[in-house]
Amino acid sequence: MNARGDGRVENPNEEPSAGAPAKAVARRGRRPARAAIIAALSIATLVTGIAACRGSGAAPGGPRHYTLRGEVVTVPAVPGGEIVLRHEAIADFRDESGAVVGMAAMTMSFPVAEKVSLAGVPPGAKVEAVLAVDWAAPSYAIESLKLLPVETVLQLEPAGR
């Protein structure tokens, strides 16, 4: 039964009849405001969640950092050149939107930050590097690099091979 006791289903979008109780009218008037508050709280929660998931300890708008392991293919002949690494997959790699898309194992060249010394890093060496990716700049570079033990086992084949 409804408030009128006549068994009819009330439509909340319908204007109340002349005899409708004032309490029912007041309740209907609060519905849009309540819906707006719930929507605003939902959006605020979503935005906060997205900001918290931006990942890798990066400041908002700053670069994301990824640790990768691989084998040196070529070392730049001159400072400021690019190193070529055959690297393992980067499972937590994020695209420009922040979505985790991963990066398959592959061979690619990387700019090397000025502070990184490549002295004593020959082709064939197994290394661990920190890759900084800044989609806003846009830029990417190896920010640190260290030699791994010769016996280190690397997974350099893409998944499924």
Copy the structure tokens of residue 11: 């439509």
pLDDT for 27 equals 53
Q: Same domain, yes or no, for 104 and 43?
A: no
Q: Is 37 among the domain residues?
A: yes
pLDDT for 59 equals 46
Q: Is 130 among the domain residues?
A: yes
Q: Is 156 among the domain residues?
A: no
Q: Is 160 among the domain residues?
A: no
The structure's pTM equals 0.62
pLDDT for 133 equals 97
Count: domains in the chain: 2
pLDDT for 78 equals 84
Say how far apart CA 119 and CA 87 lie, in whole Å.
20
Q: Is 155 among the domain residues?
A: no
Q: Same domain, yes or no, for 73 and 139?
A: yes
120: containing domain: 64-147
Asked which of 52, 74, 93 is the last residue of a domain, the reply is 52
Q: Same domain, yes or no, for 74 and 94?
A: yes
Q: Are 104 and 158 in contact (CB under 8 A)?
A: yes
Q: Are 110 and 131 in contact (CB under 8 A)?
A: yes
Say how far apart CA 6 and CA 143 lie, in whole Å.
75
Q: What is the CATH number of the domain that holds 127?
A: 2.40.50.320
Q: Is 161 among the domain residues?
A: no
- Mean pLDDT, the chain, rounded, equals 77
Asked which of 52, 78, 94 is the last residue of a domain, the reply is 52
Q: Same domain, yes or no, for 141 and 79?
A: yes
Look up tokens 């000025």; give the residue. 114
Q: Same domain, yes or no, for 77 and 135?
A: yes
CB atoms within 10 A of CB 64: 19
pLDDT of 28 over the 90 cut? no
pLDDT tens digit string along 92-135? 999 999 999 999 999 999 999 999 999 999 999 999 999 999 99
pLDDT tens digit string along 48-103? 333 333 344 444 568 999 999 999 999 998 888 899 999 999 999 999 999 999 99
The amino acid at 70: G
